[in-house]
Chain A
């Protein structure tokens, strides 16, 4: 197991290295330079060149990259030449908002999806199951930029129960904080529900066909008892996997709702620095998100073995091939 973790870790490091080089290359391709943005259009070419030299943007590509990489390894992602705020500080300031949104959205999605999946798996292919499937498919087709304004209309404009925009830090009370966070979280949670429902439903149906479930039923245990005490736990591993991937994705995916609800999170940092052409901040944030994504991905991959004893026992364990297959098919889709 340890060699496996090391191999995955090495691969993840390679991916991170390539991702950060990619970001740097993308930024280098951008027409115009940071100095031109700072000095404005009236600046003379000499002034622009002098400023670029001062900021170190005139050095060769890989010199700049390794310089950036070595400071980044020490936790310094550079300082924005436009706002003069260190990028690491800006990220840390905004990370709690985005993390809270992502965790809240994940919880909402799981709270809705798990009961629906249990219902579907108890009566597979019934009218109820097909109805639930249709509803979750509908949720899947409501992107955040559609759900957001519609939710605002019903809850903020018509019923006036929740605020339409703004963020209250959690220090000022959990109630006001949640009131501001619930609509944006709901808007991004909708599309996650379908995937959770389908994965858990398929796994539950599979588990309910196992011999030991039939044995438990034959002993006279009630359906509910068997469902929750015997079938639920072994069926929840794929769900855990895709929840982790979903969390990683949500951290980069709250841009829309942060713009719509005016929330001071990572997404807003990206969009504002992109509009200001703040190359240093964009590079830092994109690298941060990509690294977070890779790390969570890897933890999920490794954690899968840690959670499921049947996988941990070794490659010959009975469920391992199936688990591996589920993991790859889901990983492909979810991270896409």
Chain B
């Protein structure tokens, strides 16, 4: 089974291209932990806004720091925030969704009110309010993005789990006297794993976009830790003098998100083309 998956994956151009793009970002993030062309936080006002050169492949920013190094370290920020936020949303969302599917009734009703609430609420606004209460930081950006991921996973899980509960093998398990918890863990979750994996990939993309938006507004990772969104905000002041500052960080965001989206769609094709997904954000 595994073998056939990879054999088919290699022949799926979208999936492979996406994987390549994501791979580049992940590689940048990992390499930047141990090595960057220049220190990412080394301020040298004398070297500010240098155009690209052999020493500074993408030029320097308004504080004389190497742009390439900052984009590489920025990949760490994006990936960390996205990964943790989606993990939080997925863990809680899957638990809630599976619970609602197993119990139905009032649990289900409360869950859907909760999802309605989160979906109807202007997400950016709520994120701004959350960071206003707890202070702007990467941690609170994770929290804000994570919260909005809960109902996404809850709904997808609930929908997929409900179908499973109607299947014969689950009915059989029920007849054997297994409790709803055991059935959920042993039979339902493993059988809806593929939809969750695909959804998680797409949410990862959405989370990276959200992190970029929040840090653009100054609500994400704090300086001198670089984040792609904030780099774009700073760059706007220097559009005339150094347009590159406004181009490369955005390109990094767009290509990473594009890669994740392509991987997500590819996974859906490969795992189960009939999956129903959500896209929020």
Q: Do A and B come from one complex?
A: no
